[in-house]
Chain A
Amino acid sequence: MIPVPFLTLLLFLPLAGSLLLLAMTRRESLARITALTIALAETLLACSAWFCQGSTTPQAAPPGFFLFLDRPWIETLGIRYTLGMDGISLLLVILTAFVTTIALLVSWRSIKERVALHFLLILAMESGIIGVFLSLDLFLFYLFWELMLIPMFFLIGIWGHDRNIYSAVKFFLYTMIGSLLMLLAIIGIYLIHGQQSGVYSFGLSELIGTNFSTATGLWLYGAFLLAFAVKFPLVPLHTWLPDAHTDAPTAGSVILAGLLLKTGAYGLIRFGYPLFPEAARTLTPLLIGLAVAGILYASWIAFAQKDMKRLVAYSSVGHMGFVALGIGAWTPVALSGSLLQMINHGLTTTALFAMVGMLDEQAHTRQIEDYGGLWSKIPIYSAFFVLFAMASAGLPGLNNFVGEFLILTGSFKVAQLATVLAFIGVILPLVYTVRLIQEVLFQEERRPLSMTDLSLREILILTFLALADIVIGMHPAPLLEVLKVPVALLTGGAP
């Protein structure tokens, strides 16, 4: 049995680590090693949470949560320090720890200035993201929601390239506008619930079941949806993403695509739907419509891209559209598919961004037209690239297929037309993926570039990701098992 402050430890270890890094701004190699050690420790810690599942439910925990912590914080306002972990949080927290470690490894050599600060920001962001995934108090959630933005802003702004300031500000403004509206909505719920029940509280389990008039519910849910849709991102709120990705350093792209995008979907699942079931049902056609539009539109646009990072960024928009479709359908199968797809997308896109970053590091260009014939020069790299590209295109046997297929299976019941259109969206990724493979790996080289194949560190990173891709693709059962209880509770079906 793990002692109670486990969640607190999980939450604040990276933040503590980043404070430790403050003292090492002059000693780069020490900073690297410290950061990696902390990230690894965090990964271990996150994985150890896996084994808490079977244990008895802690007292006062909402159903489905196997780890729970509830302490008063600002009592006069009804703000509590409530953390909880169920299957959904568990998987996302493990993903967070994993992807952060990879982000650190990816920027091991490529970052040359202000190394300690870079790693410090990544670790601080990890705390923020984990906080988002663990908070069960709306105020706490909002706090972490904002906390994870700020390091990303600096990551893009300081280490980015090209129009980094423009992209950083764009990213910040977009997400900020969304989250400020969400803050208003949170306060709105707080007040309405307080007036109805006389108990002023930000706790999620307290607030669930608050009655809203139809219009109020729609307004509040709309504000939540907007904040989450920006993060998702749903068309037409997606334009910050390609810019942010293109100009971010590799580690920034990795975390942005692998983790930050997931917070939007998570928020919708954890807070949006349970708090406003009525309004969510009313706006489901909108969500599904935007999701399908995003799948088709982004995949189509990705085909025209000339910049590899931008292409992968648009592909992210398309893939997150599938997640949105599954959430919109809100059937048990579709929702487990969506959650699994969040993990899958995190792994695959992380790998793709990391790989594009590796090319960029050597050749200092991300333009597709500068490459060609890489297969004969760097075969190991190319083999990995094909693997991840195929995973991203949804080849069965690899992870993305599992998620997409479950989403589509589950959604068909609810939205036939949308699912049929989404099936067309399944082949569009293939179109741009094979084009990318052909132009970058096949044919003759178009510019003489001297490339060296992957280093051992890079092979290690990619092997882990590839193994994860294949294992999830062939044997997703354990993950689906973990998701079963929370998904059943959320959708109201039998587990």
Chain B
Amino acid sequence: MKLYLELIILLPLLGGIVNLLLGGRLLPRRLTELLACAVIWGSFAATLGAAASYTAPVTVELGSWLAAFDFKAPFTLYLDPLSLSLCLMITFVCGLIHIYAVGYMKDDPSFVRFFALLNLFVAAMLVLILAENLPLLYLGWEGVGFCSYALIGFWYRKPENATAGRKAFIVTRIGDIGLGIAIVWMFQLFGSVSITKLNSMGYLMPIGVITALGLLMLLAAMGKSAQVPLMVWLPDAMAGPTPVSAQIHAATMVTAGVYLLMRMFPLIGVSPTVTAAIAITGALTAFYGATCALVQRDLKRILAYSTISQIGYMMLGVGAGAITASTFHLLEHAFFKALLFLGAGCVITAMHHEQDIFRMGGLRRTIPGTFWPFLAGAVCLAGVPLTGGFFSKDGILGAVWLKGGGFYGTLYFVGLITAFITAVYAIRMVLIVFAGEVPLNHSLSKGEGKPLPRIMEWSLIPLAVLGVFGGLLNLPEYLGSGVLNSFLSQPGSHEGMLPHATELLLQGVAAVVAVAGISTAWFRYGGDRRQQRLALESAPARGISAFLMEGWRVDALYDFMFVRPYKWLSSILWQWVDEGCIDDTLDRTAALFGRFGHWIGARGDGRVSRSLIGMAAGAALMIGWLAWVML
């Protein structure tokens, strides 16, 4: 087991390092690509091995890291069902994305940097997932943050790309303050930073402290998982290459916040305030993301907002205490969202790096190999009954319903409305991009579509299969016990089960909502109405749609509230306080002494006799004073 766990992390790490050091000059391009993909699949194989030999949660210590007196944070890995299932998903999805990226990046000269960073990202992500203590988790947490920063700004020549990377890094790091404070506080309270120990010691502390800790961790999760109010970085993060968006900003890294909350749930879940805060954050974010996605024109931005929204669902699930349902949705979302992003990458490549969906159309016939998987992803997202997305989303909503009460009841309805909007925008996207005719002025209409590398479309298929049939992983209770459910449920976990009838009813409601959303989209964008709507929406956005288009204008608000004051104050502090006050005071003091010296010098006329008299007078004064004292 130790070997497996070591391999899981070390393979991607080694791949990244080898590529970084030797790539470009010493390794041919093919070898770099091969190495990058091979290490991820190797890691997947190791995960499979670990899964095969898995019997009970294991803790493996690989070496020491931080150790000073009573504070110890060694390199310790912890494998339990939660981390194992996430590891499987990450290595598998990332492996596919790596293969896809080989095709996507085939003309880019900086492929070495790209693949090295992708590999390092996977290594950091796996450290995050497998970490047994919080500082180690923090190492992975920041490591993925750095890789994300470097990859968003991958095409660094454009200032907006570089700025997007910087924004992502800084905003997520704001959330990390919460995690950092939580770690040191927990160390002070419990004398340990081991996750397993902390989770079993929660009862030692009063509920108020637990609440505070939970809220701090929620802050961290908000930053990393792009939850309201720290969600502003994710839409901009789409500036990176599409495989990066698929891997980091859809499938893996952004779910780290949710993972953290799931991990620490036994500790923080006992506080109702915390779970309520998590739930309301999730619901709000889900609603926010869905509404924004409704009006976007940029294909990748639609997907980004949809990611925000879907992670909101997961948070909602965690808030409702439904860890299993959340995990299920996390996995399912990783499959179909990666699928959608990769499909979007195919579309964008075929359209010569055009991302505006209003300039697309008719791609159904041009690139059928992309269309069908993309459609599969979209129906999963829309929650069409019997797809994986339907079951996983429904699991969360069901759990919220189960909690009952006015608060969670409201959240349930917010979730339902969001599901409706989700269906609308998912189908809108498909209809606009793939239906209709190719725009006349576009090169595709002249039959000059760029041929897609085969490898890109092939890698979509496994994801599509998993997305659509992912529901089989965790079937609802009335169809027999779910695989995932029994795997994840820990002894002592008290996740409630809905009565079968209620569950069926809720699923019926969800199905109706999804179908309603799809039909709404069809009636707006389907068939001939597509052209009219497009003409209508192409006009510059006004009113509510402009508000949604700009993500509720949160960016502008933050710019006004935080960014500008920060910049402004920093130059004020520098030029007025530091240079103007502190330094100038000292300079002036020094100048004063200098002037005093000159003044004294000017008083004396340089005559030796006067100096002598002055000296004698001084001596007389001193001796006289001494005599006076001695008397």
Contact = CB atoms under 8 A, between A and B. Distances in A.
Verify whether A and B have any Cβ pair under 8 Å.
yes
Interface string A291-321: 0000001001101110000000000000000
A154 B71 CA distance: 44
A420 interface: yes
26 contacts: A173-B590, A239-B579, A239-B583, A301-B573, A304-B567, A336-B69, A386-B150, A395-B142, A396-B138, A396-B141, A405-B180, A406-B68, A409-B71, A409-B184, A434-B169, A435-B166, A438-B159, A441-B156, A442-B156, A442-B159, A442-B162, A476-B65, A477-B64, A477-B67, A483-B68, A484-B68
A353 interface: no
A236 B411 CA distance: 51
A220 interface: no
Contacts of A438: 153, 156, 159, 162-163, 165-166
Given A409-B71, A438-B166, A427 B573 contact: no
A396 B142 contact: yes
B66, B143, B571: which has the most chain A beta carbons within 10 Å?
B66
A304 B570 contact: yes
Interface string B162-173: 110110011001
Contacts of B67: 477, 480
A408 interface: yes
A333 B68 contact: yes
A300 B180 contact: no
Contacts of B170: 427, 430-431, 434
B146 A304 contact: no
A402 interface: yes
Contacts of B173: 427, 430
B176 interface: yes
Given A301-B570, A410-B71, 16 more contacts: A301-B578, A336-B68, A373-B157, A390-B146, A397-B143, A401-B142, A405-B180, A406-B66, A408-B184, A427-B173, A431-B566, A438-B156, A438-B159, A443-B158, A484-B68, A487-B69
Contacts of B180: 405, 408, 423, 426
B108 interface: no
Contacts of B187: 409, 412
Interface in B143-193: 143, 146, 149-150, 153, 156-159, 162-163, 165-166, 169-170, 173-174, 176-177, 180-181, 183-185, 187-188
A303 B146 contact: no
Nearest to A336: B68
A8 interface: no
A337 interface: yes
Contact of B177 (A405, A427, A474, A476): A427
Contact of A396 (B139, B149, B174, B586): B139
B497 interface: no
A272 interface: no
Nearest to A483: B68
A239 B587 CA distance: 10
Contacts of B583: 239
Nearest to A376: B157
A235 B376 CA distance: 60
B156 A375 contact: yes
B407 interface: no
Contacts of B65: 474-477
B451 interface: no
Contacts of A476: 65-66
B586 A300 contact: no
A426 B177 contact: yes
Interface of B: 20, 63-71, 135, 138-139, 141-143, 146, 149-150, 153, 156-159, 162-163, 165-166, 169-170, 173-174, 176-177, 180-181, 183-185, 187-188, 566-567, 569-571, 573-575, 578-579, 582-583, 586, 590
Contacts of A474: 65
A408 B71 CA distance: 12
How many A residues touch the partner, as a band?
Answer: 35 or more
B188 A413 contact: yes
Interface pairs A-B: 5 shortest CB-CB:
A442-B156, A396-B139, A304-B570, A442-B162, A239-B583
A304 B573 contact: yes
Contacts of B590: 173
Nearest to B157: A444
A424 interface: yes
B68 A395 contact: no
A493 interface: yes
Interface of A: 173, 236, 239, 297, 300-301, 303-305, 332-333, 336-337, 373, 375-376, 383, 386, 390, 395-397, 401-402, 405-406, 408-410, 412-413, 419-420, 423-424, 426-427, 430-431, 434-435, 438, 441-444, 474-477, 480, 483-484, 487-488, 493
B573 to A, nearest CB: 5
B569 A405 contact: no
A308 B563 CA distance: 22
Contacts of B571: 304
Contacts of A376: 157
Contacts of A435: 166
Given A173-B590, A395-B142, A438-B153, A412 B188 contact: yes
B120 to A, nearest CB: 10
A301 B581 CA distance: 14
A430 B628 CA distance: 66
A269 to B, nearest CB: 15
B157 A300 contact: no
B223 to A, nearest CB: 10
A173 to B, nearest CB: 7
B69 A493 contact: yes
Nearest to A243: B583
B166 A301 contact: no
A236 B127 CA distance: 41
A91 to B, nearest CB: 14
Contact of A300 (B143, B153, B159, B573): B573
B337 to A, nearest CB: 27
Contacts of B177: 423-424, 426-427
B69 A333 contact: yes
Contact of B66 (A332, A386, A402, A488): A402
Nearest to A493: B69
A303 B570 contact: yes
B566 A303 contact: yes
Nearest to A301: B574
A297 B578 CA distance: 9
Contacts of A333: 68-71
B591 to A, nearest CB: 12
B68 A337 contact: yes
Contacts of A390: 146
Contacts of B162: 438, 442-443
A396 B143 contact: yes
Given A332-B69, A396-B139, A476-B66, A412 B184 contact: yes
A94 to B, nearest CB: 19
A424 B135 CA distance: 17
